């Protein structure tokens, strides 16, 4: 359904939640705001909020892909590096090493 069809449809019928979500995720939406806390004209705190709501594909089109390189979100959280380090320490200490093959 094109945006023109959605506009004409919306004038006759109320928009369904699924239609609204599809449109927002397809186009993207930005919410921006600033919060300032002042005491006697002295600025104590400023918080700048920028929120982007879009689909992952739309975000990639805009050049936003931080989740692909985040080790926690991408599943590359360094677990294998920690296991290798533990195995080396166990070998140095003369302890029996644990490996994935033994645990399986």
Write out pLDDT tens, residues 43-95: 899 999 988 888 888 888 888 887 777 766 666 666 677 788 888 888 888 88
Structure tokens at 81: 């590096």
Which stretches within the chain are classed as H helix? 3-12, 17-27, 56-61, 66-69, 71-74, 79-93, 100-103
SS3 37: strand
Q: What is the pTM of this model?
A: 0.41
Report which of residues 28 and 40 the model is more confident about.
40
Asked if 61 and 49 touch (Cβ cutoff 8 Å), the reply is no
Cα–Cα distance measured from residue 23 to residue 6, given in angstroms and rounded to the nearest whole number: 9
Structure tokens at 25: 């995720």
């Amino acid at each position: 359904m094109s945006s023109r069809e959605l506009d004409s449809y919306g004038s006759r019928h109320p928009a369904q939640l699924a239609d609204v979500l599809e449109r927002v995720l397809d186009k993207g939406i930005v919410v921006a705001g600033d919060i300032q806390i002042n005491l006697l004209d002295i600025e104590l705190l400023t918080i700048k909020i920028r929120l982007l709501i879009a689909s992952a594909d739309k975000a990639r089109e805009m050049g936003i892909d931080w989740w692909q390189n985040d080790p926690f979100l991408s599943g590359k959280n360094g677990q294998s590096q920690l296991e290798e380090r533990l195995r080396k320490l166990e070998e140095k200490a003369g302890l029996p090493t644990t490996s994935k093959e033994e645990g399986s």
